[in-house]
Structure 1
Amino acid sequence: MKIDPRTKLLILAITSISVFLNGSITIECIFAALPFLLLLSTKKIYTSLKYAALFLALLAIQLWLVPLLPVSAGGIIYMFAVYIRKLIPCFMLGSLLISTTRVSEFLAAVGKLRLPKGFTISLSITLRYFPTMGEEWNSIKDAMALRGIPVTAAGILRHPMRTMEYVYVPMLVSASKISDEITQAAITRGIDHVQRRTCMETVRFHVMDMLVLVAYITVILLAFLANGKGWF
């Protein structure tokens, strides 16, 4: 299923605001289910299942683990579980936007919104930055594994200082370097050109975009309405 980048941006913005206006676990599950289904529709099965497992794990921590802990420790873990869980729908929609949108297609779509050029440039660089950082992270993990330093949760807990020295320091250096390289590449391609850009991409809303937007907004409004009336 192909969705316009502007549709993805809009539902991401709606979700980013709505998740923190909600106090119902049921509505949280609805917020998580909608981007989960969108990821499945774009064949991102592993990504969708990974986020779903994390969401369910954090929900289980809140419902079953926190009541068994002392108040001080339980409060800290509760805050961690709740706030990370609220961000998972945003992470899923961000992953959907990054993994299914080409930079040229994104620029063509955002250009039609008449947004400030600085904002457009920032979004475009971000769209390319995260996949590049993912590739760099995989390269560092492979290099460390060859040296006998596994980058796993158990390895981090056993040797936190060594992991920081051999993994996170190279990662931070690479992050700074990659950001400069992507910015220079974007400028070379004329992203900061003051005149109106031309583009070979054809970007327009389709029936599927309208269906997704209507279904998404309708489900969210019904969920808030039901919560306000005390149905759940």
Structure 2
Amino acid sequence: MDKPFEFKSTKPDARVMIFQVIVVSLTSFILSSHMAIAILFMIMLILMISHNMKDKAIQMVWRYMILLALYKILDMLQIPYLTIMFNLIILLFIRVLPAYMSSIIMLNKMPMNEMMTALQNMYIPQMIIIPFAVVYRYVPTIIHEINCVKVSLKMRGLNTSLIGIIIHPMKTIENFIIPLLIRSSKISDELSAASLCKGLDIANKRTCLSDVRFQASDAIYCLICIIIAVSLIYMDKSGFLL
């Protein structure tokens, strides 16, 4: 007799991905030395490459290098007030980068149905799950819309670079921000309607074709995350990483 067809859930589990984002976010803001943050960045970079996200990993490397170069240049120039202000902003972006990378991995690799089933198994209230589901889909969609608006502006010969935005702020609002706001409103309505069509507002428990379970491999993954985070924090506070 043939075995019934089964849908395998994505590994690691959705709860593990959420846990990873929380751990990386807390660790990146607890660390104080540049070396410790750089090691955390490298770990997230390796993780992105292991998830077949090489293009995004290269983008993250470029962003990190640009931020680090700006920090070093401003530190050498020592412009009164401006150096301190801009260096603080740059350091904030550098600290946020590992958490941002962890969030990208979760958004790109975790199916929506498994994420919602995992949250429901954690007894998260529906009033939290439904907005989270809409935002979970909204972020990648709005990024796609931003890229579409940029392409359409380039086709019309309009400047979409950072310098063009700074030089012509009013044109940026007219040509970029307004179309994006109109599209954002339509997207939010469409996503809300799609969520209702999928039965997110019903009181009954959701079912999922994939077998979403927290297994031993997921527990080991969480343990490794904790060990790496604690080790980095310990080495940072002990002065091993300057």
Same fold (TM over 0.5): yes
Q: 2:30 aligns with which of 14, 21, 29?
A: 21
Separation in 1, partners of 2:130, 2:153: 34
**Secondary structure at the counterpart of residue 128 of structure 1:** helix
Which residue does the alignment assign to 1:108? 117
Give the corresponding residue for 2:100: 91
- Which residue of 157, 160, 181 corresponds with 1:151? 160
Q: Find 1:174's aligned residue among 183, 201, 207.
A: 183
Report the Cα offset of residue 8 of structure 1. 0.8
**Cα 1:45–1:207 shift into 2, 3 Å:** farther
Does the Cα contact within 8 Å between 1:34 and 1:216 map onto a contact in 2? no
User: 2:193 maps to which residue?
Assistant: 184
2:150 aligned partner: 141
Task: For residue 239 of structure 2, give the secondary structure of its aligned residue in structure 1.
Answer: coil
The CA distance in 2 between the partners of 1:144 and 1:130, in whole Å, is: 21
**Whole-angstrom CA distance in 1 between matches of 2:199 and 2:111:** 17
CA RMSD of superposed structures (Å): 1.8
Partner of 1:4: 13
Instruction: Determine if the alignment matches structure 1 residue 74 to structure 2 residue 78.
Output: no
Q: Which has the higher contact order (CA 8 A, sep 6+)?
A: 2
**Is this contact kept in 2: 1:140–1:167, CA < 8 A?**
yes
Deviations 1:156-214 (A, max 9, x none): 23422212210111112222221122112101211021121122121123454344322
SS at match of 1:204: coil
Structure 2 unaligned blocks of 5 or more: 1-9
Q: Which moved more, 1:221-230 or 1:87-96?
A: 221-230
Task: Report if aligned partners of 1:66, 1:74 keep a CA contact under 8 Å in 2.
Answer: yes
The answer to whether structure 1 residue 224 and structure 2 residue 224 are counterparts is no
* Alpha-carbon distance in 1 for matches of 2:31, 2:64: 16
User: How far apart are 1:69 and its partner, in Å?
Assistant: 2.8
Q: Deviations over 1:95-124 (max 9, x none)?
A: 111111111121122221111212211221
Moved over 4 A (4+): none
CA distance in 1, matches of 2:25, 2:127: 21
Find the aligned partners of 2:45 and 2:139 in 1 and give their Cα distance.
20
Any unmatched runs of 5+ in structure 1? Answer: none
SS in 1 for 2:205: coil
- Please tell me the residue identity of whatever aligns with 1:9: I
CA separation in 2, counterparts of 1:223 and 1:18?
Answer: 8
Select the residue among 127, 134, 149 that pairs with 1:118.
127
How many residue pairs get aligned? The number is 232
For residues 18 and 54 of structure 1, the distance between their equivalents in structure 2, rounded to whole angstroms, comes to: 20
Percent sequence identity over aligned pairs: 24
1:129 maps to 2:131 = no
> Shift of the alpha carbon at 1:43?
0.6
